[in-house]
Structure 1
Amino acid sequence: MSATNTSSPAAGPHICIVGGGIIGVCTAYYLSLHPSLPPGASISIIEATAVASGASGKAGGLLAEDWHGGATAALGKLSYRLHAELADQFGGEKEWGFRKVDTLSVTTDVNGKSKKAPPVDWLPRGTVLASRVLGTTTTTSQVHPEQFTKYILDRFLGKPHTSLIHGSATSLTLSATSTPESLTLTTASGNEQTIPCTTLILAAGPWTGRLAKKLLPAGPAARCKVDGQRAHSIVLESKQATLSAHALFTDMTLQDGSNAEPEVYCRPDGTAYICGQTDNEPLPATTADVTPSPAAITTLHAQARTLSPHLDASSSASSEAGATVRAEQACFLPLSHRGTPLIGAVPGLNKVYVASGHSCWGICNAPGTGKVLSEIVLQGKATSADVAALAP
């Protein structure tokens, strides 16, 4: 086991957060800032593989203020504000690619001869049938998820009594009052170590349900049902065009008459993140075991070059356009049994909490999740946003 410690171990309560993705990192960060954190308390993030190695490193990073359903509307609004505040405070534009974007719905037909001017200059003329605004720079933004997660992790580790521990949580010891006492971890080499754990937070993304079954009694574990769905993406860098600050939700008619709906998020580093292929591949053991489907990647490339010659990474791309492949990847989106995130105390146990099941909105809603969960843990209730409907 390896650990990154920023200070000597604390003698007080020990909060253990299992999961080093964006939800776990944001939760740790806001816990470390909370004025009610007990003196001498320590906070540890437990991560089995690498920080942001799952969806937190491979998601698109679109942020939306008002695209959320009733149960998550307050969380989404809070999170959107916190993203902007963090960007202002720490220079997010430079550090993690934060910027405000216009978001459009675009209908195209590569077989058509439309006279409508394309809404962005890197889409070809003659293919765009319709477009409409879904969000403006006042309501939609973006981040680079991996860069954001690692930056906030560094801010967390800069505070007293904080640590990042690399290991897999294998068992939890509970007291007679069903309160955590210690957590046992196993390294890749098979060594075991038991660490103090007086508060446990499960934030392991799509692995949360599996982890709950391993660590918790059956009844409480059943309240933490989260699994995953595999999603694919590619990242392309245009060779010629300067891709504008837009996110596109497409409805494309392809050459064979079939339809496709890839999403395209242009990033400030000149790349375009393109996603849209999901399947029901079983969840593997860890993020290190996640691999993309070659067929899904091929499909995304075909859709990208059909949408714009500036997103054509094939060898036949014209010298005036074309793109370079920066990534071909897959991740698993965390899906709860209820279809909404699970945020709050796990019934039947004391000082055990869950924060998972955000589906494709984990990047967007991570800061708000971390803040409200820090309030639930240290104050007994959320005060920044009403998340009562999300309690497990």
Structure 2
Amino acid sequence: MAPNAPSHILIIGGGICGVSTAYFLSIHPARLATTKITLLEGTKIAAAASGYSGGFLAKDWHGSATSDLSAMSYDLHEELAKKFGGKENWGYRTVDTLSIETDATRKSKKSSPLPWLPEGLVHSSRSLGSHSTTAQVHPRQFTEFFTKKFLEAPSTSVKIGTATSLSLNQETSTPRSVGYTNEKGEKEEIDVDAVVIAAGPWTGKLSEQLLGNKVGSKLSVQGHRAHSIVLKTKEQLSATCLFTSMTLKDGSAAEPEVYARPDGDCGAGDDEPLPPTASKVSPSPSAIAKLHKQSQALSDVFTPEQNVEVVAEQACYLPIADRGRPLVGKVRGVDGVWVGSGLSCWGITQGPGTGKVLAELILEGKAKSADISKLAP
């Protein structure tokens, strides 16, 4: 047990990092029976990237700063899936992952690497990952499932509201309370003595608001907008994820990513300024139209003629840390505040591992499951 164990821990952010932190805190053997844990989310659980990303997982695609965390978290995904029925409850499965180049302006003599890709379109194909190194989940279902598991533990709760202020104890310089605006627009306050900021792309703005410019500016995380469409095909697709480089019939280039879930297909796009809340995020019609054009150019199974069902047209913001690597650990300059954010496109892979090491840091004083020394805020 870490010295001065907290009596009330507040996690700000209901995405995969925040929920994973809440869950692993709730089951940690060093947690006192009297320790309260509250999850504060601005709109709804998995309202941002954790609800809209493709859910792709990769074990060994990462740089030195995040390689240990990523490998641990990838294995943790498998462990959780085996323990809680991940295949049925959040679509966990291992996949093959390919990089392909297509060119619709000239016919290829190579055989198609997949039965649902037309002959003559794919000019090159290579393996990027196998069933032992790449996998996928439905991120919203994962995040919602572990929110429920978190709430099964005693003295746990979820509140909907936007954090607005952080008051510190003058004697100890540790958190005393967090002010927030609830669903009705009313101002409320929660007495806490430990805070985790896991607000995804809103982490930067929120940190400055709560901690002031001197400390908060060091936790700079921005948002990069990505678009996706979810399509339900008539035929079952293979368990394959694709990273593409496409030349369309008109000579234009595109690089959509395709994640063939058991129930759909997904691709990504462009950027615009981060709105104040996840509820204000809206997709660009032109970006969505491009994704439909690209998916239909890739395979007939994504066309209206093949009775494809458009399940969703959506956008989210990936949390990008200005320094180029995630922020995971204790915030310098103030006691009792931790951060888990800036995981960019790897938030789903690294989310559970981030939650686990943050729980260890808070309750034991040291991250034991993975080396996060290069991720310290």
TM-score range, shorter chain: over 0.9
- 1:38-82 CA distance string (max 9 Å, x none): 230010000110000100000000001000111000000000010
User: Of 348, 351, 363, which residue of structure 1 is paired with 2:333?
Assistant: 348
| Aligned equivalent of 1:243, options 237, 245, 248 | 237
User: What does 1:94-113 align with in structure 2 at a 5 Å threshold?
Assistant: 94-113=88-107
SS of the residue corresponding to residue 116 of structure 1 reads coil
Cα offset, 1:335, TM superposition: 0.6
User: Which of 18, 37, 41 in structure 2 is aligned with 1:24?
Assistant: 18
Alignment match, 2:298: 307
Q: List runs of 5+ in structure 2 lacking aligned partners.
A: 1-5
Q: Is the Cα contact below 8 Å between 1:51 and 1:150 reproduced in 2? A: yes
Q: Is the 8 A contact 1:105 1:134 kept in 2?
A: yes
Q: Residue 5 of structure 1 corresponds to which residue in structure 2?
A: none
AA matched with 1:117 = S
Matches within 5 A, 1:57-76: 57-76=51-70
Structure 2 residue aligned with 1:371 = 356
The corresponding residue for 1:226 is 221
Give the match for residue 4 of structure 1. none
Look up the equivalent residue of 1:126 and give its one-letter code.
G
Aligned counterpart for 1:117 among listed residues 106, 111, 115: 111
Does structure 2 retain, via aligned residues, the 8 Å contact 1:309–1:322? no
AA matched with 2:312: A
Aligned match of 2:161: 167
| Whole-Å separation in 1 of the counterparts to 2:236 and 2:118 | 14
Contact 1:277-1:296 at 8 Å conserved across structures: yes
Contact 1:24 1:45 (C-alpha < 8 Å) held by counterparts: yes
Q: Indicate conservation of the 8 Å contact 1:235/1:327, yes or no.
A: yes
Structure 2 counterpart of 1:290, from 269, 272, 281: 281
Deviations 1:92-121 (A, max 9, x none): 000000001000001111122112111110
2:370 paired with 1:390: no
**SS in structure 2 at match of 1:277:** coil
1:276 pairs with 2:268: yes
In 1, Cα distance between the equivalents of 2:228 and 2:160? 27
Q: Distance in 2 between matches of 1:278 and 1:15?
A: 36
8 Å contact kept, 1:99–1:141? yes
SS of equivalent to 2:102: strand
Are residue 362 (structure 1) and residue 363 (structure 2) matched? Answer: no
Letter in 2 for 1:311: F
Distance in 1 between residues matched to 2:268 and 2:21, nearest whole Å? 29
Q: Work out the CA distance in 1 between the residues paired with 2:269 and 2:190.
A: 40
Q: What is the TM-score of this pair, normalised by structure 1?
A: 0.93
Q: Quick one: which of 187, 211, 221 aligns to 1:216?
A: 211
Quote how far apart the aligned CAs of 1:322 are.
Answer: 4.3
Instruction: Report how many residues are paired.
Output: 371
Offset of 1:129 from its aligned partner? 0.4
What is the CA–CA distance in structure 2 between the aligned matches of 1:288 and 1:166, rounded to whole Å?
13
User: For the residues of structure 2 that align with 1:359 and 1:372, how far apart are their CA atoms?
Assistant: 18
Q: Does 1:154 align with 2:152?
A: no
> Partner of 2:25: helix, strand, or coil?
helix
Question: Does the 8 Å contact 2:165/2:210 carry over to 1?
Answer: yes
**Distance in 1 (alpha carbons) for counterparts of 2:313 and 2:98:** 24
Cα-Cα RMSD: 1.0
Aligned-residue offset at 1:218: 2.1
Q: Please say if residues 101 and 136 of structure 1, whose CA atoms lie closer than 8 Å, have aligned partners that are also in contact.
A: yes
Q: What secondary structure, in the 3-state scheme, does the structure 2 residue paired with 1:292 have?
A: coil
* 1:3-52 Cα distance to aligned partner (Å, 9 max, x none): xxxxxxxxx71000000111100000111111111230010000110000
CA distance in 1, matches of 2:363, 2:297: 52
The CA distance in 1 between the partners of 2:240 and 2:138, in whole Å, is 14
Q: 305, 329, 332: which is aligned to 2:317?
A: 332
Tell me how far apart the structure 1 counterparts of residues 34 and 231 of structure 2 sit (CA, whole Å): 47
Which residue does the alignment assign to 2:253?
259
Q: Secondary structure at the match of 2:265?
A: strand
CA contact (8 A) 1:223 1:347 kept: no
**Within 1, Cα distance between the matches of 2:40 and 2:9?**
10
1:268 CA displacement: 1.3
SS of residue in 1 equivalent to 2:30: coil
2:29 alignment counterpart: 35
The answer (yes or no) to whether the contact 2:21–2:358 under 8 Å persists in 1 is: yes
Contact 1:199 1:352 (8 Å CA) reproduced = yes
Whether contact under 8 Å (1:223, 1:346) holds in the other structure is no
Question: What is the SS of the residue equivalent to 1:38?
Answer: coil
Equivalent residue for 2:123, pick from 129, 136, 143: 129
Structure 1 residue 231: Cα displacement: 0.5
Q: Aligned residues: percent identity?
A: 53
- 1:9 maps to none
Instruction: Give the TM-score of the pair, scaled to structure 2.
Output: 0.97
Dislocated runs of 4+, deviation >3 Å? none
